[in-house]
Amino acid sequence: MEYIFIIAGVLLIVLTIAAGLIWVERRLLALWQDRYGPNRVGPFGLFQVLADMIKIFFKEDWIPPFADKAVFVIAPGILMISILLTFAIIPFTDSFFVLDSNIGLLFFLGNSSLGVYSIVLGGWASNNKYSLLGSIRASAQMLTYEVFMGLSLMGVVMMSDSFNLREIVEAQRGMWFVFPQFIGFVVFLIAGVAETHRTPFDIPEAEGELVAGYHSEYSGMKFGMFFVGEYLGVTLISTLIVTLFFGGWLGPSFLPPAFWFFFKTAFFICFFVLLRASLPRPRYDQLMDFGWKILLPLVLLNILVTGAIILYLQ
């Protein structure tokens, strides 16, 4: 019974944060662009999200006649499910988590690969050239970035000797992994941005080139699921960065562990928004070049050096 409460609690918290992020992002982007952003609905425009939700539920949920209906409907769900499932393995504190799995990290990598299906199928089922181009880009980008996203975490796994996220956090009691694994952290951050299709790596959407990329044909709540999925992804990557590199819930004991976890996560979420506010989108081939020619050798080198040092110290 308690188990169900925890699952419901995690779902509630995560979905509320993801929806709230729409407001946070708009306000923060506005702050960095010397504007105000939404500030009319409720205090500081906080109810803007509610207003948008009501709006999006009442919009016509249109399926184009030329679309592959079944796949078109399923696609946004896959994204939501694959991301929400991953939250099961995040240890928010040492006692508040859904699943204490000994393959937690692998579960995350597997689920994030499944997330690509959503985008590829969504673009394919839309039966639209722009959507298809977007999903082709997405699949190529994901293939590239999945490779060294996984590899960038291997240093952490080697140092903590575990795939279990709770044990990885416990292993950081002495020192956060961001210091010994700085290269791993930077590569994971970049791969995380690419994983969630956020600017500067929003090439699958690229509204200047592809209308809206893979979700051009989506409307109503199906679009809303892609949209919230993006913010869920941002939250997920932020929580993972915190868990893997910044000591999760660990922090000075004058504040509860949950606070430290959410504080660190909020910091990285804001950093994601800052990246969007400041960086332009690279070209498709530049992204590929950067991935295969710079990040992959870098991360392999990182694994080599980490492994060598661990062996030497034994």
Partner 1 sequence: MFSILRSIWLTFLHAFHKRETVGYPEKKPYLPPRYRGRIVLTRDSEGNERCVACNLCAAACPVDCISLQATEDENGRRYPEFFRINFSRCIFCGLCEEACPTYAIQLTPDFELGEYDRQSMVYEKEHLLISGEGKYHGYNFYKNAGVDMGVKAKGEGENEEPTVDLKSLLK
Residue among 103, 123, 100, 121 at smallest CA distance from 111: 103
Instruction: List helix spans (H) across the chain.
Output: 2-32, 48-58, 69-86, 104-125, 129-160, 165-170, 182-195, 207-210, 220-245, 257-278, 284-289, 296-313
- First-to-last C-alpha distance (Å) of the chain: 45
Least distance in Å: CB of 117 to partner 1?
Answer: 31
What does the alpha-carbon distance between residue 56 and residue 50 come to, in Å, rounded to a whole number?
10
Closer CB to partner 1, 174 or 280, in the complex = 280
What is the closest distance, in whole angstroms, from the C-beta atom of residue 19 to partner 1 in the complex? 24
What track of x and - describes contact with partner 1 for positions 81 through 120 (by CB under 8 A)? Answer: ----------------------------------------
CB of 72 to partner 1, least distance (A): 37
Amino acid at 70: A
Q: Of 46 and 106, which CB lies nearer to partner 1 in the complex structure? A: 46
The rounded distance, in Å, linking the Cα atoms of 241 and 90 is 11
Size of the site for partner 1 (CB under 8 A): 11
Q: Does 31 bind partner 1 (CB under 8 A)?
A: yes
What is the spatial distance between Cα 214 and Cα 138, in angstroms, rounded to a whole number?
8
Is the Cβ of residue 74 or residue 275 nearer to partner 1 in the bound state?
Answer: 275
Question: Nearest CA to 308 among 180, 120, 202?
Answer: 180
User: What is the nearest approach in angstroms of partner 1 to the Cβ of residue 294?
Assistant: 10
The least distance separating partner 1 from the CB of residue 194, rounded to whole angstroms, comes to 15
The one segment of 28-36, 61-69, 119-127, 130-138 that binds partner 1 by CB under 8 A: 28-36
Q: Residue 22 Cβ, how far from partner 1 at the closest point, in Å?
A: 20
User: Closest approach of Cβ 34 to partner 1, in Å?
Assistant: 5
Residue 211's contacts (CB-CB under 8 Å, 6 or more residues apart) are: 130
Name residues contacting partner 1, limited to 230-289 (CB under 8 A): 274-275, 277-279
Is 257 within 8 Å of 94 (Cβ atoms)?
A: yes
> For partner 1, which is the closer residue by CB, 65 or 280?
280
Distance, CA of 129 to CA of 137 (rounded, Å): 12
Nearer to partner 1, 102 or 278 (CB): 278
Query: CB-wise, 21 or 28, nearer to partner 1?
Result: 28
Q: Which is nearer to partner 1, 123 or 192 (CB)?
A: 192
Structure tokens at 29: 């982007």
In the complex, least distance from residue 154 CB atom to partner 1, rounded to whole angstroms: 24
Compose the 32-51 pattern: x for residues touching partner 1 by CB under 8 A, - for all others: xxxxx---------------
Q: Which residues of 5-15 are buried (b: 16+ CB within 10 A; e: fewer)?
A: ebeeebeeebb
CB closer to partner 1 out of 31 and 171: 31
Footprint of partner 1 on this chain (CB under 8 A)?
A: 31-36, 274-275, 277-279
